[in-house]
Structures are given as structure tokens and as C-alpha cells.
Amino acid sequence: MRDADDRRRGRSPVDGVECRENLLINHFFHDFKGNISTVIMCIEAVSDGVWGEVTERQKASLGRAGRTCERMIRLINNFRDMTQMEEGVFESEPETVNVGAVLEGIEREIAPVAHERGQLLDFVREGRLPAATFRGALFERVMKSLFEVVLDATRRGGRVIARSGCDGGGLSVDVAFEAIEADEETLGTVFDRLAQTRTGLQLGRGFTLLFCREAVAWMGGRLHLGPWPGRGCRVTIALPLKPAG
Amino acid sequence: MEKKPKIFMVDDDADLVLVVKSVFEASGYEFASAGSAKEGLEKIDAVRPDLIILDVMMEDLVAGFRVVNALRDYEANPQNRAWATTPILMLTSVQQRTKMKFSQDVGSKLLPIDSFLEKPVKPQALLATVAELLKKA
């Protein structure tokens, strides 16, 4: 696979190679998702009690296995979509989405994970979040991916404060989390493919943050990772929204 | 005794087929499968399904689409006329990549299937979709 910067610059435009590379990527995604899908189905079937009762502890363990598989699916989807964004061929249909409901759904999903890890999660939605026409599915995946990284980076017993609100036709999300402290410059390296390991945000998690930043930029917004002085880090997202109707 | 609805799954992922078979049989369905589009079309008369669960990428990138066309376009394929209205649920991991859109209308430019679910799918969601399609059929 070529370096992403080469793709952006349009280097190596050998049609046959390009075509085979895309097919290879397609087949890889298909095979990976197919295999993980089978694992998820097995886990869910056991957890749902299709073949008999399971205990709460077994269910919790199966739940963790299922969530991990879903993370792997998100990771591979993020990689695929970022590749397409860099190649300028990514497409995502706008849809009318209730922004508040999307954020509530994410809160419902991540709250048990934070609780299990002994983290204190505050979700604050300021004012009414309207229905809007935008890339809702992509936004939802960005937010889920972002919270995965945030919960991984937050220390046990640490606090995560997620504030969201609408202001002047745009959506703002601010996620502050108690983690390793780093200055602005060091945090900037998270988005550098080669230097991201130095920040203490583990390798691979930096890729997820990079995807979040690129996807938000693709939607016309901005993602910034900065310090939360004396506490940890904070991610802020500003995203333009077109009210529905 | 009430006849059990029969599900026919055409998918080349043998492990997925086994787990789906297990889920449907535990929920009171009959189940049969084929591992390729070609085998699916060969076996359909013998299986006589009430509903078909169909993969897209099997022996080639669009094998599932070929099955849909062979079943729905019964003027070109009169031997498949008996299955022209059998509900088809497409189960795929390539929906986003293919931008697949569907319609139940034969002759529409959209893919004439009844529903699709993107992998990974949860067993309860699959059972609920199948039950709904069978109720409508």
C-alpha cells in the first residue's frame, strides 16, 4: 500500500496497479468483516440464551468480547473510509438526524463501559439539540471511536466530562478526560503517523484520533486535541449543522 | 402440525452458515444452505424455501446480485418463476462499498430484494427481520 501522502499527491498513477490495490483492499475488508461478523453472531447467540441460560458473569464477559469485536469492525471501517477520504472518493449521504438522540444513544452505550472501569462519566447536553441534515452515521461512528480512545486513555477512577450544545447553527462537543498530561505541541504529534507513540496515547489509538479529525474535517468541521491543565486532555469538536426542514 | 417456515441461506462463509443454522433451528425454523450462487440456483427447486438469505460476494464480487436477477427476472429465467416472489434478505458486509439500494419492484433500477442487513448482524435482529418478511409474504 502506498503512503497516504503519496495518494494525496496523486503519485504512482499506474492504472492496473491502482485497480488491483483497490480490489485487494476491498477483499481484505470483506474477509475481515465476514470473519468478525461470525464471531459476533456466535457471541450474541450464546449471550441471548439461544442454547440455554447464561449467568450474569458469563453475559458480562461475552458482552466485553462482543464490544471488542465491534471496535475491530469500527477500526477497519475507519481505515477504509480514511483511505477513501485521502483518495478523494469517499461518499456519505446526508440524512436528517436528531442530534440529541444520537448523543443519548452514545451515552447509553459508553456509560456501562466507563462504570465497569471505575471511571466517572458526566454527559452534559446544553440546551435543545435540534434535528439536522448532515452525515449522521459518520458522526455517530466518529463519536463512538472518540469515546473509545478517551475511555482507554482515562485512568481508573478518572473523570470524563462530555459537554455538547448548539451555538449559532453549529454543534460543539467538548470532551475533557483525566489522563496523562501533555502540552499542546506533544499532543499535536498524536496526528503524526510516525511520532504518535511518544504521547502515551497508545499506538493505534492515535490512528483512531486521526480518523476522527479527518472525518470531522471532511464534514466541514474542526477537531482539536489540547491539554486540560492540571487534569489531562480535552478534545473539542466544532461541526456546522444545517437544521432539518 | 403447523409447517415450519424454511430458510435457505446462500453464503460461502461455512462458519457463519453453521451459526445462523443453529439460531434458526433453535427458533423453530427449517434451514437449508448453499455455499455459492451456482449451488443456490441448482438447489432451490429441491429446497422450496419460504425465504432466502443471500450473501453478495461469493464466487465473485457480484454473485449474489446474479442470484437476485435469476430469481426475479422470471421472463428471462422461466424455470425460476416459482421463486419470483419469495422474500430475499440480503446479508452483506459490502453495502457501504457498493452503495446498494433496493426496491421490491421488479423492473426497478434498484436491486429487487425485500430487505438487507449489513454484517455484523445480531441474531435477534436477523430473526426479527425474517419474521417480519415472512409475515408480509
Q: pLDDT value at position A17?
A: 57
Read off the pLDDT of residues A108-166 as tens digits, 9 standing for 90 and up.
Answer: 989 998 998 899 999 998 877 777 777 888 898 999 999 988 998 888 889 999 999 98
Using beta carbons and an 8 Å cutoff, which residues of B are at the interface with A? 13, 15-16, 19-20, 22-23, 26-27, 57, 61, 93-94, 96-97, 99, 119-124
- Per the CB < 8 A criterion, the answer to whether A170 and A139 are in contact is no
Assigned C-alpha cell, A7: 495518494
ipTM value for the complex = 0.72
Q: pLDDT value at position B113?
A: 86
Residue B134 has pLDDT above 60, yes or no: yes
Q: Closest chain B residue to A52 measured between Cα atoms?
A: B26
Q: Which of A4, A27, A22, A2 is nearest to A12 (CA)?
A: A2
Quote the crossing angle between the two packed helices A15-47 and A56-87, to the nearest 10°: 160
CB pairs under 8 A between A and B: 60
- Per the CB < 8 A criterion, the answer to whether A63 and A75 are in contact is no
Q: Is the pTM of this model over 0.80?
A: no
Return the CATH architecture of domain A95-243: 2-Layer Sandwich (3.30)
Tell me whether residues A44 and B123 touch, CB distance under 8 A. yes
Read off the pLDDT of residues A194-223 as tens digits, 9 standing for 90 and up.
Answer: 666 555 555 446 788 889 999 999 999 999
Question: What are the domain boundaries of chain A?
Answer: 2-86, 95-243
C-alpha separations of B63 from A39, A213, B41, B58, B103 in Å: 24, 37, 11, 6, 18
- Calpha distance A193→B49 (Å, rounded): 51
Distance from B137 to chain A by nearest Cα, in Å?
26
Read off the pLDDT of residues B112-124 as tens digits, 9 standing for 90 and up.
Answer: 888 888 888 889 9
